[in-house]
């Protein structure tokens, strides 16, 4: 038997290695590049195969195996880690205007003794991620240690937790140096954060003790990394971006901090090249990294990212500028643990802490009651905020916002400010939880919340002063009958003084009544009177839209006017007839019927007609005689003299349809200045493009 060839036993070790490398590659495609090349089920199958193999042959289990991400035991405390290369901080540019970027460039040039005539310097611009810094140590290509920053010299060993982050490679490819340290930011995406808090809320609701929701993604991420039990850390969805590479100087070589951080990097032309390598070695590197030239490049990046900030899937608190050349980084040196070659240029904070002075309930046009937190004034997102919406009853309950609470307020972009969360530990006194009022705070009518709706509504309708005011403002709006200069302050006075309760009252006011209003000069009173007079000449869609019927927006009003041709036909239409109109579904149809079934609403229409409001009533549908009937136009950009509304109205008067997007069916596109994608699309489809002059010519009645 001995001279026989050995029985062919499968090479389990090679198979395990093959499975590991396949899983590693697909994991990178999935977690880092977000571009999987195999279905999830296939990945799971490979994963289970490797698990089974390791189960049967435990000696094949390696620390870099994808099955070993959540392997570690819980610990009592974290071990300390001495950073061989210190983790430096970054200077913060205090001037948040664009001047901040320019003064950084000026400082750098001065220190490098650049002359005015010398060419602009190259910088790498990056995002300043709002997470926590981490150091990852690789030896023989394998992740061996992950540590927090700590005080920059000594951090905490959080290897077990960091291993659970799928975006962090456990093994590096052969082209990477065998021993290296990568630094970057661990963070939590906003959607992951919301989902985590949602899960936490469910746990709390079902009675779980010792569970809490998190204030923001950064706190949630920091908490996860510092969990003692890796099983718990693994349940928190964390992400990672790499932004620096370091090599350890030999043990016997003691280098000053900056020299230590730059040790071995002279082999790379610049920081941008370092980042390219990190990406090649499988680390996630932000796609927003850019190489820019001089101060103008820095400013342009700052502006670009400020615009983009709210669309990013994660929080940033600014941008970072870094001198690209490693050689210059070395020349620049450092001051008090901050290198002179980098600076963080912050954005205004989007979240701040303040206190809730009161919770008011506001009444909207359709009677919707909205709870609003009245806040101690706080500067957030670039403005001073004193009100923040609490949306509705469920939201207030969910966040448990109470008067006197310390809260986190968020204002991002132009979105209305909102209360994000309550700092419960700051709640000193027993306070009452919030209840929606049972009656409208303005007119005292019953407030009801219908089944399946989130909002309470005042049932007072147009008897409710808040709704009267909103109804009048809506009717007077430019896109409705357009009463110029009739603003909120004037409407408040008119309604509060009892001069106007219903829409027709507006048309019954004489000069002396207008002139008697606060701060109303004779000229303004005359102007208003003239505007009211002018608004009497309107169109059916504008009039109908102006009535403020729930669910009847401009487009629906137009469709109704076109279909029925006249006001009476609309008021009398049955549900079935209303449903014939393109654009009108059961909800809209019902809303119209409910509105016109109320005698006082029909009375308003009658009275308005009596007061002299007129519009042309078209024959239903049949305006095929009009010159542009059957043609569709798209308007884009800013026209030299006409507003877009005016151009649209003129086209529609001539029988054309005006659409919002370009398609093969578009007759022509009317383009003004700064026309963008719609114009491009028209050109690519070969659709004629008209300027304002050509449009006016088109609309000229035939001689």
Pairing of strands 142-148, 132-139: antiparallel
Q: At what angle do helices 40-56 and 12-27 cross, to 10 degrees?
A: 150
Is residue 507 a contact point for ligand IVH (CB under 6 A)? no
Nearest residue by C-beta to ligand IVH?
Answer: 133
Question: Is 593 within 8 Å of 576 (Cβ atoms)?
Answer: no
**Tokens representing residue 142 in the block:** 């394998």
The residue from 49, 51, 68, 89 that contacts ligand IVH (CB under 6 A) is 89
**Tokens representing residue 670 in the block:** 């009317």
Instruction: Say whether 128 is catalytic.
Output: yes
- Side-chain half-sphere CA neighbours of 63 within 13 A: 15
* Torsion sign (Cα): 657, 658, 662, 668: positive
Is residue 64 a contact point for ligand IVH (CB under 6 A)? no
**Tokens representing residue 74 in the block:** 């819980």
**Tokens representing residue 700 in the block:** 């000229």
- The window from 120-128, 427-435, 550-558, 609-617 that contacts ligand IVH (CB under 6 A) reads 120-128
- The window from 17-25, 121-129, 204-212, 295-303 that contacts ligand IVH (CB under 6 A) reads 121-129
Residues numbered 641-700 forming contacts with ligand IVH, rule: CB under 6 A: none
- Identify which of residues 271 and 678 has a Cβ nearer to ligand IVH in the complex: 271
- Identify which of residues 150 and 404 has a Cβ nearer to ligand IVH in the complex: 150
DSSP symbol at 337: T
Can you tell me whether residue 290 is helix, strand or coil?
Answer: strand
Least distance CB 143 / ligand IVH (angstroms): 19
Least distance CB 180 / ligand IVH (angstroms): 16
- Identify which of residues 184 and 541 has a Cβ nearer to ligand IVH in the complex: 184
Question: Is 223 within 8 Å of 210 (Cβ atoms)?
Answer: no
The residue from 64, 105, 126, 393 that contacts ligand IVH (CB under 6 A) is 126
Q: Measured between alpha carbons, how far is 22 from 31 in angstroms, rounded to an integer?
A: 14
- The window from 31-39, 122-130, 436-444, 455-463 that contacts ligand IVH (CB under 6 A) reads 122-130
Exactly one of 128, 322, 399, 657 is catalytic; name it.
Answer: 128
The residue from 86, 339, 460, 504 that contacts ligand IVH (CB under 6 A) is 339
- Identify which of residues 220 and 687 has a Cβ nearer to ligand IVH in the complex: 220
Is residue 302 a contact point for ligand IVH (CB under 6 A)? no
Is residue 320 a contact point for ligand IVH (CB under 6 A)? yes
Question: Is 57 within 8 Å of 12 (Cβ atoms)?
Answer: yes
Number of H helices, E strands in the chain: 25, 24
Residues 602-641: x where in contact with ligand IVH by CB under 6 A, - otherwise, as a string: ----------------------------------------
- The window from 87-95, 161-169, 464-472, 483-491 that contacts ligand IVH (CB under 6 A) reads 87-95
- Identify which of residues 244 and 670 has a Cβ nearer to ligand IVH in the complex: 244
- Side-chain half-sphere CA neighbours of 50 within 13 A: 23
Least distance CB 283 / ligand IVH (angstroms): 13
Least distance CB 383 / ligand IVH (angstroms): 26
Least distance CB 316 / ligand IVH (angstroms): 8
Is residue 88 a contact point for ligand IVH (CB under 6 A)? yes
Q: Measured between alpha carbons, how far is 60 from 50 in angstroms, rounded to an integer?
A: 10
Is residue 93 a contact point for ligand IVH (CB under 6 A)? no
Task: Produce one character per residue of 689-701: b if its CB has 16 or more CB atoms within 10 Å, e if not.
Answer: bbebeebeebeee
Q: Which of 527, 448, 434 is nearest to 487 (CA)?
A: 527
- Identify which of residues 169 and 339 has a Cβ nearer to ligand IVH in the complex: 339
Least distance CB 356 / ligand IVH (angstroms): 31
Is residue 133 a contact point for ligand IVH (CB under 6 A)? yes
The residue from 31, 43, 123, 129 that contacts ligand IVH (CB under 6 A) is 129
Least distance CB 301 / ligand IVH (angstroms): 12
- Identify which of residues 315 and 393 has a Cβ nearer to ligand IVH in the complex: 315
* Torsion sign (Cα): 434, 437, 441, 447: positive
**Tokens representing residue 600 in the block:** 């006082």
Q: Measured between alpha carbons, how far is 276 from 290 in angstroms, rounded to an integer?
A: 11
- Identify which of residues 133 and 136 has a Cβ nearer to ligand IVH in the complex: 133
Q: Measured between alpha carbons, how far is 356 from 372 in angstroms, rounded to an integer?
A: 10
- Identify which of residues 318 and 548 has a Cβ nearer to ligand IVH in the complex: 318
Provide the H-helix boundaries in 584-643.
586-597, 599-610
- Identify which of residues 299 and 320 has a Cβ nearer to ligand IVH in the complex: 320
Pairing of strands 632-636, 657-659: parallel
The residue from 275, 298, 342, 466 that contacts ligand IVH (CB under 6 A) is 342
Least distance CB 135 / ligand IVH (angstroms): 10
Pairing of strands 689-690, 368-380: unpaired
Is residue 172 a contact point for ligand IVH (CB under 6 A)? no
- Identify which of residues 126 and 405 has a Cβ nearer to ligand IVH in the complex: 126
Provide the H-helix boundaries in 36-177.
40-56, 99-111, 159-162
- Identify which of residues 87 and 687 has a Cβ nearer to ligand IVH in the complex: 87
Residues numbered 180-199 forming contacts with ligand IVH, rule: CB under 6 A: 185
CA dihedral 347, 349, 350, 354 (to 10 degrees): -170
Q: How many residues bind ligand IVH, per CB under 6 A?
A: 14
Q: Which of 9, 6, 42 is nearest to 27 (CA)?
A: 42
Backbone angles phi, psi at 226, to 5 degrees: -100, 25
The residue from 69, 128, 309, 542 that contacts ligand IVH (CB under 6 A) is 128
Residues 223-262: x where in contact with ligand IVH by CB under 6 A, - otherwise, as a string: --------------------xx------------------
* Torsion sign (Cα): 279, 284, 287, 290: negative
Least distance CB 97 / ligand IVH (angstroms): 21
Burial class from Cβ neighbours inside 10 Å (0-12, 13-18, 19+) for residue 566 reads middle
Can you tell me whether residue 662 is helix, strand or coil?
Answer: coil
Least distance CB 289 / ligand IVH (angstroms): 8
Is residue 90 a contact point for ligand IVH (CB under 6 A)? yes
Q: Measured between alpha carbons, how far is 420 from 437 in angstroms, rounded to an integer?
A: 23
Least distance CB 55 / ligand IVH (angstroms): 39
How far is Cα of residue 188 from the mean position of the Cα atoms in its chain? 15
Least distance CB 319 / ligand IVH (angstroms): 8
Question: Catalytic amino acids?
Answer: 128
Site of interaction with ligand IVH (CB under 6 A)? 88-90, 126-129, 133, 185, 243-244, 320, 339, 342
């Amino acid at each position: 038997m001995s001279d026989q060839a050995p029985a062919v036993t499968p090479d389990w070790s090679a198979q395990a290695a093959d499975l590991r490398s396949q899983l590693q590659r697909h994991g990178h495609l999935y977690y880092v590049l977000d571009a999987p090349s195999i279905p999830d089920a296939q990945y799971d199958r490979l994963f289970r195969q490797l698990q089974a193999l390791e189960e049967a042959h435990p000696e094949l289990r390696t620390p870099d195996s994808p099955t070993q991400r959540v392997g570690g035991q819980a610990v009592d405390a974290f071990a300390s880690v001495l950073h061989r290369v210190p983790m430096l901080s970054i200077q913060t540019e205090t001037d948040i205007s664009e001047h901040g970027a320019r003064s950084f460039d000026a400082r750098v040039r001065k220190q490098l003794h650049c002359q005015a005539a010398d060419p602009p310097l190259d910088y790498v611009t990056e995002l300043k991620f709002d997470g926590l810094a981490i150091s990852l140590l690789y030896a023989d290509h394998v992740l061996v240690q992950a540590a927090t920053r700590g005080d920059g010299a000594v951090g905490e060993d959080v290897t077990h937790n960091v291993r659970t982050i799928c975006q962090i490679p456990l093994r590096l490819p052969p082209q990477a140096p065998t021993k290296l340290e990568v630094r970057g930011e661990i963070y939590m995406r906003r959607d992951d954060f919301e989902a985590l808090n949602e899960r936490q809320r469910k746990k709390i609701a079902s009675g779980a003790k010792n569970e809490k929701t998190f204030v923001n993604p950064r706190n949630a991420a920091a908490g996860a990394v510092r969990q003692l039990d890796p099983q718990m850390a693994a349940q928190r969805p964390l992400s990672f971006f790499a932004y620096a590479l370091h090599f350890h100087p030999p043990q016997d070589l003691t280098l000053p901090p900056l020299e230590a951080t730059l040790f071995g990097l002279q082999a790379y032309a610049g920081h941008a090249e370092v980042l390219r390598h990190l990406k090649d070695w499988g680390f996630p590197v932000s796609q927003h990294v850019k190489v820019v030239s001089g101060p103008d490049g820095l400013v342009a990046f700052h502006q670009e990212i400020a615009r983009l900030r709210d669309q990013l899937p994660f929080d940033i608190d600014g941008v970072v500028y870094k001198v690209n050349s490693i050689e210059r980084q070395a020349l620049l040196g450092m001051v008090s643990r901050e290198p002179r070659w980098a600076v963080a240029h912050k954005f205004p904070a989007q979240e701040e802490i303040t206190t809730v002075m009161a919770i008011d309930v506001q009444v909207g046009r359709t009677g919707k009651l909205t709870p609003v937190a009245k806040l101690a004034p706080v500067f957030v997102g670039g403005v001073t905020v004193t009100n923040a919406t609490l949306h509705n009853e469920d939201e207030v309950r969910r966040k448990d916002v109470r008067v006197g609470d310390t809260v986190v307020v968020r204002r991002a972009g132009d979105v209305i400010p909102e209360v994000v969360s309550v700092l419960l530990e700051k709640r000193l006194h027993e306070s009452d939880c919030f209840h929606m009022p049972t009656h409208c705070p303005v007119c005292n009518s019953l407030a009801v919340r219908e089944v399946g709706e989130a909002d309470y509504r005042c049932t007072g309708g147009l008897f409710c002063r808040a709704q009267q005011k909103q109804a009048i403002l809506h009717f007077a709006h430019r896109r409705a009958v357009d009463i110029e200069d009739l603003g909120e302050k004037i409407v408040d006075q008119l309604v509060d003084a009892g001069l106007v309760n219903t829409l027709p009252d507006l048309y019954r006011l004489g000069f002396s009544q207008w002139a008697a209003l606060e701060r109303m000069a004779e000229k303004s009173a005359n102007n208003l009177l003239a505007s009211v007079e002018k608004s009497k000449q309107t169109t059916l869609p504008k009039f109908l839209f102006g009535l403020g019927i729930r669910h009847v927006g401009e487009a629906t009003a137009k469709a109704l006017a076109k279909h029925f041709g006249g006001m009476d036909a609309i008021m009398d239409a049955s549900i079935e007839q209303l449903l014939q109109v393109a654009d009108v579904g059961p909800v809209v149809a019902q809303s119209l019927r409910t509105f016109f079934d109320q005698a006082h609403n029909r009375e308003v229409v009658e009275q308005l007609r009596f007061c002299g409001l007129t519009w042309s009533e078209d024959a239903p549908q049949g305006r095929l005689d009009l010159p542009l009937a059957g043609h569709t136009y798209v308007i884009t950009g800013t026209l030299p003299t006409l507003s877009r509304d005016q151009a649209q109205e003129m086209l529609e008067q001539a029988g054309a349809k005006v659409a919002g997007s370009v398609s093969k069916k578009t007759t022509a596109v009317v383009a003004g200045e700064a026309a963008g994608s719609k114009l491009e699309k028209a050109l690519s489809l070969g659709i004629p493009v008209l300027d304002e002059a050509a449009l006016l010519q088109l609309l000229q009645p035939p001689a």
